[in-house]
């Protein structure tokens, strides 16, 4: 019987995904398949999804076996009460590699003081020698697919890395913490803090005024996680007071970041337009195809979202 896959991940992505999806499904042994951007809801077996204002009501998809998100972060869909089918999020090698490169680049930029070097092409001969990575402690909030990979890449460069997660973890080369006391310990000991947490009720505003006050004075924040992990007003106050030295932000409460948002003009903020890492069509299509294969074989889906935990 033909398997019907609704591509509900936006018009712009369709040209990137059409061929990789067909190729990956064929490679997974799924050959009798129809993939389209529109089809009768009751015919749909699987929904390939990315945040989509046009698809918020999943009630009509009475025969759908799963919703397969192309995004790792699922805060926009996880609480959708019309969604009764299993929800799988994206775990993709391309996404992971991209995030490791972006986070490593941002940490090295701040560690080496590259902004000051670039700003000083004016005849000034000032030899500010940066410390070695081994003397620059880094905190990683979130030790999941992306956080653990970034933490290990930084540890491989000799940064002492302390990580924080919800449950106790064991990540080689990383000092792992969890719980409230663990968060305080990581923040108090980190000169650079990277956020790779999902946005849930428990993580919203995890960096509030009290948490920011725990950081060593002048610490740098790098946030490719989600905007609402940080209290915007508290961050600006901490930057103005010198408590936070710089914040490189890739994600925001409202995206695109409104032109009148104070982050744009703040000298202590780097605004990056949610480009830290993108799901890559070829590798992501393989993940989608494997989950379709599993669904058809009656096997457990990969990367199922825990709807209660919110990620």
Which residues participate in catalysis according to the annotation? 226, 274
Cα dihedral sign for 108, 109, 110, 114? positive
d(CA 278, CA 267): 27
Among 139, 224, 268, 295, binds ligand NAP (CB under 6 A): 224
Asked if 51 interacts with ligand NAP (CB under 6 A), we say no
Asked if 73 interacts with ligand NAP (CB under 6 A), we say yes
Q: Can you read off the two tokens belonging to residue 269?
A: 């903020």
Closest CB 181 distance from ligand NAP, rounded Å: 12
d(CA 15, CA 221): 36
Asked if 95 interacts with ligand NAP (CB under 6 A), we say yes
Asked if 2 interacts with ligand NAP (CB under 6 A), we say no
Maximum alpha-carbon separation in the chain: 72
Asked if 280 interacts with ligand NAP (CB under 6 A), we say no
- Interface with ligand NAP by CB under 6 A: which range of 28-36, 110-118, 128-136, 166-174? 166-174
Asked if 311 interacts with ligand NAP (CB under 6 A), we say yes
Closest CB 1 distance from ligand NAP, rounded Å: 33
Closest CB 239 distance from ligand NAP, rounded Å: 21
d(CA 44, CA 163): 41
Among 20, 137, 147, 268, binds ligand NAP (CB under 6 A): 147
DSSP string of 167-222, one letter each residue: S----TTSEEEEHHHHHHHHHHT-SEEEE-----TTTTTSB-HHHHHHSPTTEEEE
Q: Which is nearer to ligand NAP, 87 or 196 (CB)?
A: 196
CA distances (Å), 230 to each of 101, 204, 307, in order? Answer: 23, 7, 23
- Interface with ligand NAP by CB under 6 A: which range of 2-10, 43-51, 220-228, 256-264? 220-228
CA distances (Å), 210 to each of 215, 231, 235, 252, 278, in order? Answer: 10, 10, 11, 20, 32
Asked if 139 interacts with ligand NAP (CB under 6 A), we say no
- If one counts every other C-beta atom within 10 angstroms of the C-beta of residue 126, the result is 7
Asked if 202 interacts with ligand NAP (CB under 6 A), we say yes
d(CA 183, CA 206): 9
Instruction: Tell me which residues touch ligand NAP (CB under 6 A).
Output: 72-73, 95, 142-147, 164-167, 169, 196-200, 202-203, 224-226, 250-251, 274, 276-277, 311
């Amino acid at each position: 019987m033909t398997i019907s896959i609704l591509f509900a991940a936006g018009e712009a992505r369709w040209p990137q995904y059409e061929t990789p999806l067909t190729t990956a499904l064929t490679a997974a042994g799924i050959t009798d398949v129809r993939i389209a951007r529109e089809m009768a809801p009751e015919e749909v077996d699987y929904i390939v999804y990315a945040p989509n204002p046009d698809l918020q009501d999943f009630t009509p998809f009475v025969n759908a076996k799963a919703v397969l998100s192309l995004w790792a972060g699922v805060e926009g869909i996880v609480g959708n009460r019309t969604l009764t089918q299993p929800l799988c999020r994206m775990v993709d090698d391309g996404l992971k590699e991209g995030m490791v490169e972006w986070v490593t680049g941002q940490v090295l930029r701040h560690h080496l003081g590259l902004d000051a070097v670039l700003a000083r092409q004016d005849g000034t001969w000032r030899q500010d020698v940066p410390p070695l990575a081994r003397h620059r402690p880094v905190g990683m909030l979130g030790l999941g697919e992306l956080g653990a990979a970034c933490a290990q890449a930084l540890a491989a460069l000799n940064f002492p890395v302390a990580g924080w997660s919800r449950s106790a973890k064991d990540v080689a080369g990383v000092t792992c913490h969890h719980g409230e006391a663990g968060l305080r310990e990581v923040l108090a000991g980190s000169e650079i803090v990277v956020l790779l947490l999902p946005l849930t009720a428990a993580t919203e505003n995890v960096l509030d005024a009290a948490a920011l006050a725990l950081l060593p004075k002048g610490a740098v924040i790098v946030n490719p996680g989600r905007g609402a992990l940080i209290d915007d007003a508290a961050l600006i106050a901490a930057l103005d007071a010198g408590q936070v030295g710089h914040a490189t932000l890739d994600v925001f409460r409202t995206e695109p970041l409104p032109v009148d948002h104070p982050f744009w003009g703040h000298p202590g903020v780097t605004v990056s337009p949610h480009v830290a890492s993108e799901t890559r069509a070829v590798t992501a299509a393989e993940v989608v195809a494997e989950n379709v294969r599993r669904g058809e074989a009656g096997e457990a889906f990969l990367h199922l979202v825990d709807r209660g935990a919110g990620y």
